[in-house]
Amino acid sequence: MDILTDLRIRAAEPTDGATLWALLEPVFRAGETYAIDPAISRDDALAWWAGGTHDAFIAARDGVALGSYYICPNQQGGGAHVCNCGFVTAAQAQGQGVARAMLLHALEEARARGYLAMQFNCVVESNTRAVKLWQAHGFAVAGRLPGAFRHPQKGFIDALVMYRKL
Amino acid sequence: MDILTDLRIRAAEPTDGATLWALLEPVFRAGETYAIDPAISRDDALAWWAGGTHDAFIAARDGVALGSYYICPNQQGGGAHVCNCGFVTAAQAQGQGVARAMLLHALEEARARGYLAMQFNCVVESNTRAVKLWQAHGFAVAGRLPGAFRHPQKGFIDALVMYRKL
């Protein structure tokens, strides 16, 4: 089965709250990869992931949501041509190319929206799967922030700023 | 006159809206140093500078406000021990040590609040006065973001991520 062709990626709808929260809750509660309060409420999490300037997408196979990403401007004004994205993949779908498919979708979406670059502000260095994926798709480590992330098990570790032009 | 002793730095109050806007408006409208929409409204500007997670301070001499800064957590959760600050100095007070005095105040304020590091996410490379000041006070260029800032006169130039532990 070719997951990249079976996977369908669509814009999230207001009715997708339960679907999104099922993807976000384990990731945010773990506190290992996102600089988000692990005790964040469902409403606050959804408002952040899919509200305000964030537009969210859902990746699903056979109607089962396996991942989500958001896209938003990383800054306003003179920085509004650089976008930011966040990605989550369901634990049971790790290693199947879901994140890669979402990244490729996000890069196209970003270009279609007129962005000129994509930036990740706080990639936790222990999230090696993500770092490798971003590097394999043109992102450079533009910056290293010493001890900028407090990992629940590993303690203070570095966070990376990753960046690529589009 | 020793400006560093004459300058008084205090927390901004809800009644300081006009004072803050007089400092912020020319800086935001110019669009040269902050990644903020140059057309931002007064209310949105004040809500950003002194609302939400941001706490604002005002530096004044003889009752005349010459500068302001805010402090806030740069990220949530595992990143909440790193703070972010922003600084503006009135045009007529440039070169008098106001920004330096505010930075020293901010560093103490940050330590008092338990932060372990301070990060500037988008220092425009052409803002050499700021870059030099941060570097003179222990900040390193942790990252360089190619073309991440669109300057109204200079076009696309780099933005710097600057960072120091406290």
CA distance A162 to B48: 25
**Closest residue on chain A to B158 (Cα):** A79
AA identity, residue A78: G
Which residues on B lie below 8 Å from A156 (Cβ)?
Answer: 116
Distance from CA of A110 to the nearest CA of B (A): 15
Alpha helices in chain B (DSSP H): 3-6, 17-30, 42-50, 98-112, 128-136
CB–CB contact B146 A152 (8 Å): no
CB–CB contact A161 B152 (8 Å): no
Low-confidence stretches of chain A (pLDDT < 70) are 1-5
ipTM of the shown complex: 0.94
* pLDDT mean for each 10 residues of chain B (166 residues): 75 97 98 97 98 97 96 98 98 94 98 98 97 98 98 98 98
Evaluate the CA torsion angle A32, A34, A40, A43 in order and state its sign: negative
CB-facing half-sphere around the CA of A103: CA atoms within 13 A = 20
What is the predicted pLDDT for the residue at A1?
A: 47
Q: Which residue has tokens 């940050």?
A: B110
For the stretch A53-81, pLDDT in tens is 999 999 999 999 999 999 999 999 999 99
